[in-house]
A and B are shown apart, each in its own frame.
Chain A
């Protein structure tokens, strides 16, 4: 998928392998840590009743913010017609879609009972801001993916128009 970033052909494969390999290693470490947490319970995080939300919620907020930033940049180019932002529209939407997906994923290890997450759909309580969070994050992800699909389908020439 062409996201509108210039490439340097010679270093492509090498860069992809090192960066991708490094990231995969970090993912592996994270998943191992989560498996350890599943065996021990959330006590492994060091959180207690007094400070009951920690790094997971912080990470969630960070990625939601990053995602919003990406989409704002894209809408600056596409909706408000800011020409200077045009080259960044596609990478912005891609950032938005990926970030909001990561944000949603960071919530799962924060739950004490991730095995019961379906209760959010079975027994939603509408007075809870968290339910609205779920709805908005899902809509946001769908919107970002559709936007990405639309933008990625365009001819590069349309960028200059």
Chain B
């Protein structure tokens, strides 16, 4: 596989995350996501689960609802786990797509071609992170006008973002491809009020993401599956080292 100079990645520091859902709402706003759509969600996980060797536990949320702690009262504990597309290097969704509508760009971004998808939903079944959403019916917007980026975006001639959802296709987080292509950060990184999200080039050893991955013991969700996500988590209970 050809590789470009930049290899994008994201680090999410669970020690800093306050579970405010600003990234999720910001994501909905910039991408004009209809009612019921969440490309980005903040789950809760037991802090202990996020540190151990058993990486599977990381994706074992306490509940589908927000702010639900693990355990039985009074022995409850909770850590926030923001989950969007992990942009896997070895992405199951890319492998199972029968028509090549889901594809991986040279910079590591996994994208969906809105014009090629046949809506078989194999990728939804294959994704271990459960982050994909399908346009089951007509998009419902509240308020009913387009917000955010608001126009189509193409990469190599392929429609990878559109604010006007076609019915019957699958979609997901794009790493804000229209923003990173002009040198900006994904919107969730920009809006995070506590700086828990860090975005950058994993190929550059001096970038903040590279340093965090190398030095802060960042983990990948469900790493035992071998999907090699490009989104890393700094687990709770590990004191964050002060960087020079």
- List A residues at the B interface (Cβ < 8 Å): 40-44, 47-50, 52-53, 107, 110-114, 116-117, 119-120, 122-125, 127-131, 134
Contact = CB atoms under 8 A, between A and B. Distances in A.
Contacts, number: 93
Contact of B167 (A41, A49, A117, A125): A41
Contacts of B62: none
B136 A47 contact: yes
Nearest to A116: B118
Contacts of B118: 111-114, 116-117, 119-120
Given A42-B136, A110-B120, 8 more contacts: A41-B138, A41-B167, A44-B137, A112-B170, A119-B101, A125-B99, A127-B96, A130-B96
Contact of B119 (A43, A50, A111, A122): A111
Nearest to B103: A125
Given A41-B136, A41-B138, A41-B168, A111 B120 contact: yes
A41 B166 CA distance: 10
Interface string B110-135: 00000011111110110000101111
A43 B136 contact: yes
Contacts of A40: 137
12 contacts: A49-B130, A49-B134, A50-B130, A111-B168, A112-B117, A113-B117, A113-B166, A114-B118, A116-B99, A116-B119, A122-B99, A128-B96
A42 B118 CA distance: 13
B137 A41 contact: yes
Contact of A116 (B97, B100, B116, B125): B116
Interface of B: 95-101, 116-122, 124-125, 130, 132-138, 166-170
A147 to B, nearest CB: 28
B211 to A, nearest CB: 34
A41 B98 contact: no
Contacts of B136: 41-43, 47-48
A130 B137 contact: no
B98 A125 contact: yes
Given A112-B169, A123-B100, A124-B98, A42 B137 contact: yes
B167 A120 contact: no
**Consensus secondary structure, chain B interface:** loop
B121 A52 contact: yes
B103 to A, nearest CB: 9
Contacts of B133: 49
Contacts of B167: 41, 112
Contacts of A110: 120
Given A119-B116, A130-B96, A112 B168 contact: yes
B39 to A, nearest CB: 11
Nearest to B131: A49
A5 B156 CA distance: 59
Contact of A113 (B96, B122, B125, B168): B168
B188 to A, nearest CB: 20
10 tightest A-B CB contacts, nearest first: A112-B119, A112-B168, A43-B137, A41-B137, A43-B136, A130-B98, A119-B99, A128-B98, A52-B124, A52-B121
A129 B132 CA distance: 19
B119 A131 contact: no
Contacts of B120: 107, 110-112, 130
Contact of B100 (A47, A50, A111, A125): A125
